[in-house]
Amino acid sequence: MVEDRKLAVLRAIVEDYVSTHEPVGSKTLVERHRLGVSPATVRNDMAALEEEGLIAQPHTSAGRIPTEKGYRLFVDRLSEVKPLSAAERRAITTILQGAVDLDDVVARSVRLLAQLTRQVAVVQYPTLSRSTVRHVELVLLTTTRMLVVLILSTGRVEQRVVELPDTLDDDSLALVRQAVLRSTVGERIVDAVDKVAALPDQFPAGQRALMSMLVAALIEAMSDHRSDERVVVGGTANLARYGEGLNLSIQPLLEALEEHVLLLKILGETTSPSTLTVRIGSEVAHEGFSTTSVVTTGYGPGEEALGTLGVLGPLRMDYPGAMASVRAVAQYLSKILDDN
């Protein structure tokens, strides 16, 4: 019972400090929260929490604030993620369903996360190497020129124009299209590349030059990893509200945010859409983020994430709200990719 009460006191301190940005005293806790005990008992619990390093007194005669260890325990003991309001759910649906292509989906997701959480939002583009081929379309522009359209499970579309060495009639095009679809659709990129590479040997000698050119275009399209290292950042203006709470100059953090390789490393630690990761302060492996917290999760229609997204902000983050928003946006983004 005593441990449960101490956790209730810690939870109340975290919630009040996140809300007011002011150190919290025992009298305030008794007035605002129904703890069912006297102020003297709350003071004793606060003293015990301070001795355990879960809260601290910023200066003499001040109330208490949570420490990094205190925030960690608070997050670990969350029984459930705070549900989003009906208005927040409608906003997610409306904003994301209006996207016209992958770039638009990513841009809207970043903007939405920043608005919902009032933190800095980061979204990684879907990783090409983890995606599958949804469809390949071959379109004859002329008898000797073909448009190859590759559509991936991420929603990404690649197009290549192939100059054919010989003319290609409709019947031959149908056979080529059937062979290409059989080798690619539903396959992971790495497997599709191997199967496509073997196609020329399956055709008569007179068509192998044509097939080799087509295969080269497909492999180039499937091997283009430019988006694998792309992230989009939004809501950096929110940092202005947290200058004091971050306990450092904002400039080093802004510089760290520009290092996309670093952001990818932080995001990349989450590999599953079902995993929600919260790293607090020193748990974030870069000094530029040493006084921030990062909430991330993966997204994608399968068990393995195609990409990751998340938010970062001060230690005094609204963790339940941030976790709920990150999870909800990831789920909607996964559904959009699955429906495409």
Residue 321 forms part of a structural domain = yes
Task: Tell me the pLDDT band of 340, cut-offs 50, 70 and 90.
Answer: low
Total structural domains within the chain: 3
Last-in-domain residue among 199, 226, 253: 226
Sheet containing 231-234: which strands, arranged edge to edge?
231-234, 120-124, 307-314, 292-299, 276-280
Go through the chain and tell me how many residues it has: 340
Q: Are residues 136 and 220 in the same domain?
A: yes
And the tokens for 281?
């302060």
Q: Are residues 15 and 157 in the same domain?
A: no
pLDDT digits 0-9 by tens, 63-108: 899 999 999 999 998 866 677 888 888 888 888 887 778 888 889 9
Residue 199 forms part of a structural domain = yes
Read off the pTM. Answer: 0.75
Q: Are residues 100 and 17 in the same domain?
A: no
Q: Distance between CA atoms of 26 and 64, rounded to whole angstroms?
A: 9
Q: Distance between CA atoms of 159 and 148, rounded to whole angstroms?
A: 6
Q: Are residues 139 and 120 in the same domain?
A: no
pLDDT digits 0-9 by tens, 226-247: 445 688 889 888 877 665 555 5
Residue 219 forms part of a structural domain = yes
Residue 81 forms part of a structural domain = no
pLDDT at 269: 61
Q: Are residues 210 and 295 in the same domain?
A: no
Contacts of 68 (CB under 8 A, 6+ apart): 280, 281, 282, 315
Q: Distance between CA atoms of 244 and 41, rounded to whole angstroms?
A: 32
Task: Tell me the pLDDT band of 182, cut-offs 50, 70 and 90.
Answer: very high
Q: Distance between CA atoms of 39 and 45, rounded to whole angstroms?
A: 10
Q: Distance between CA atoms of 39 and 32, rounded to whole angstroms?
A: 12
For residue 93, the enclosing domain spans: 86-125+230-339
Q: Are residues 96 and 155 in the same domain?
A: no
Residue 281 forms part of a structural domain = yes
Report the CATH number at residue 39: 1.10.10.10
Q: Are residues 115 and 239 in the same domain?
A: yes
Task: Tell me the pLDDT band of 26, cut-offs 50, 70 and 90.
Answer: confident
234 close to 121: Cβ distance less than 8 angstroms: yes
